[in-house]
Amino acid sequence: MNKLVSVVITTFNHDSHLLDCLNSVLLNHSFIYEIIIVDDCSSNPNSISLLDEIAFNSYPIPVIIHRLPINSGRPSLPRNAGASLCKSPLVCFMDCDDLMHPEYFAVLNKYISLASVIDNSFILSSSRVRFTDPNFNFFRHSSFFGIYVTNKLSSMKYFLSTSGLIVPTHLFQSVSYENIYLEDWRFILSCFSNRIISKYLVVTPPLIAYRVSSSSITPNSKLTQFKRVKNVMNTFQIPIFYLIPYAFFSILKYVYESKILYRVFFRFL
């Protein structure tokens, strides 16, 4: 089997989750040419020690540690640096506090050949679900008036995200991650607006599990995040009515995760 993918994991002072992320990616090693961990100049001694340990250990595929000399404050520049180091035709990005499904690339390859992503400059990913179960048991076979639903209503919202995103490496000759908020949205939308890609394919089963950590740079305020999304949409001249589904799923996510009206609407799940 040809190993077409380099996986870039970005990290900063995340010794508590980095090893879990790395191990989940390594379960997919039959598809992966190399793993590049880009450290955004960590200052935590435990994080530095863990990176040294990873660099010393042996793995079934190359695991490369690349340290940035100055902290950039966001994952954008580490992603760009990682992409510039890739030796394979595809790059897949992971945030260090997320987990990859053990059959991530195998499942995606069933939907569309990874080789065709290279030839046609697609962007490919799966949806994400908030981390609760390391065995990826995110679905229950329940229905609401005959409509099958998932026990994680937020899982279908996270399409414009970076963890699990597979991109032809050559795209970085024309576009890169901006060092600004919602950099993942901006990257994908830039690819479209500059006609670098024509398709963004999303596999709907959630194959990436994400955590919300205390050190997250995503604002806690829903209003702040909503304003940022609106600003990005204005930048790329996206009609404002596309904010309606974003707002709807944000409310649905808040209702579910805060357990408001849980017993009324979701007790059958």
Token pair of 43, please?
A: 């200052």
Joined tokens for residue 127: 């949806």
- What's the mean pLDDT when you consider all of the chain? 79
What percent of the chain shows pLDDT beyond 70? 72
Topology given in CATH for the domain delimited by 5-214: Spore Coat Polysaccharide Biosynthesis Protein SpsA; Chain A (3.90.550)
Q: At what angle do helices 222-235 and 243-257 cross, to 10 degrees?
A: 160
pLDDT at 152: 41
pLDDT tens-digit profile, the chain (269 residues)? 579 999 999 999 988 889 999 999 999 999 999 999 999 999 999 999 999 999 999 999 999 999 999 999 999 999 999 999 999 999 999 999 899 988 899 989 888 888 888 887 888 888 776 655 555 554 333 443 343 334 443 344 455 678 899 999 999 999 999 999 889 889 988 988 888 887 888 776 778 887 766 655 565 566 787 788 788 888 878 776 666 666 665 665 555 544 444 344 444 33
Cβ 114 vs Cβ 105: under 8 Å? yes
Q: Tell me the CA distances in angstroms from 67 to 41, 59, 71, 183, one per residue in order.
A: 6, 19, 10, 21
The burial class, CB within 10 Å (0-12 / 13-18 / 19+), for 260 is exposed
With CA atoms as reference, report the closest residue to 247 among 266, 230, 232. 230
Could you tell me if 42 and 13 are in contact, meaning their C-beta atoms sit under 8 angstroms apart? yes
> In this predicted structure, what is the pLDDT of residue 214?
60
Show the tokens assigned to 18. 């980095």
Quick one: how far is CA 55 from the chain centroid? 24
Domain range list for the chain: 5-214
Both tokens of 72, joined, read 């950039």
pLDDT of residue 124: 87
User: Which of 62, 84, 75, 81 minimizes the C-alpha distance to 13?
Assistant: 75
The SS3 call for residue 261 is coil
User: What confidence score (pLDDT) does residue 234 get?
Assistant: 83
**Is residue 23 within a helix (H) or strand (E), and if so which, with residue range?**
helix 18-26
Q: Is 150 exposed, middle or buried (0-12, 13-18, 19+ CB in 10 A)?
A: middle
Q: The whole model's pTM is what?
A: 0.81
